[in-house]
Chain A
């Protein structure tokens, strides 16, 4: 069975949920500790949501220096699939694995809602299981979710088809170009603000639209 690591930093909140999602998708979740420079032989890594170190300096700013992140950066540059969800996305941006930054929501409030997204790119390690242009509903919940980057960076992302998810009905946080998630050039690293791990069954989420993200990496990349 493929092993997917889920990192826990002090202040990480959605690690158990990400691990559950991996299990639901048929993979084996492996707990990774922020203080250990060791990926324990995993095939892919999820950097889950939460408020690492309280997000007190800037979201993700302190977590990116954790020993485990050095290993993640090296492995990611070597092609290991990495998914950053919410705080994880912020950490990947701070770590320089993805471009841009996530700023305070335009409405200045924490926002938790069932969010409609369009899957804009299916040729990534984490979205192969979706149909092109699929409309999905995934909860978004964050304080600092407004994607920002220089005009040239956004043009580059758009031009290279690296915008992976876009908000459709409402832009919940004022993100540039309604960007909800992006990928690295090779499509192995994906970061998004919405929480696919909270959409794995209709009992505890708005539906199971998020499950395909975890199945994608298990099915298309690691099989």
Chain B
């Protein structure tokens, strides 16, 4: 068993209203110096050793993310 983390983020050129709302609120709350915020999704998967990288990539690209608007990164922890 291993823990696999998949982080899904909106592509840099894609509008991210969520991140923008947070970024706009920060100065109102007195936090300065933060120029941009992007908001994504974080998945943690418990996987068997039999699951290879290619399978994980398929899960990430076709299901956890929509490659039309999102990028992803897959990381195996321990």
Chain A residues near B (Cβ < 8 Å): 53-54, 56-57, 62, 65
Cβ of B54 to closest chain A Cβ, rounded Å? 29
The B36-51 residues at the A interface (CB cut-off 8 A) are: 39
Interface of chain B, main secondary structure:
helix
Cα distance A44–B29 when bound, in Å? 26
Whether B28 contacts A57 by the Cβ 8 Å rule is no
15 extra A-B contacts, CB within 8 A, seeds A56-B20, A62-B22: A53-B21, A53-B25, A54-B17, A54-B21, A56-B17, A56-B21, A56-B22, A56-B39, A57-B18, A57-B21, A57-B22, A57-B25, A62-B21, A65-B25, A65-B29
Interface size, chain B (Cβ < 8 Å)? 9
Chain B residues near A (Cβ < 8 Å): 17-18, 20-22, 25, 28-29, 39
Whether B28 contacts A65 by the Cβ 8 Å rule is yes
Chain A residue numbers with a CB within 8 Å of B28 are 65
Chain B residue numbers with a CB within 8 Å of A56 are 17-18, 20-22, 39
Cβ of B30 to closest chain A Cβ, rounded Å? 10
Chain A residue numbers with a CB within 8 Å of B21 are 53-54, 56-57, 62
Chain B residue numbers with a CB within 8 Å of A65 are 25, 28-29
Cα distance A54–B15 when bound, in Å? 14
> Can you list 21 A-B contacts (CB < 8 A)?
A53-B21, A53-B25, A54-B17, A54-B18, A54-B21, A56-B18, A56-B20, A56-B21, A56-B22, A56-B39, A57-B18, A57-B21, A57-B22, A57-B25, A57-B39, A62-B21, A62-B22, A62-B25, A65-B25, A65-B28, A65-B29
Chain B residue numbers with a CB within 8 Å of A54 are 17-18, 21
Cα distance A62–B21 when bound, in Å? 9
Cα distance A131–B17 when bound, in Å? 45
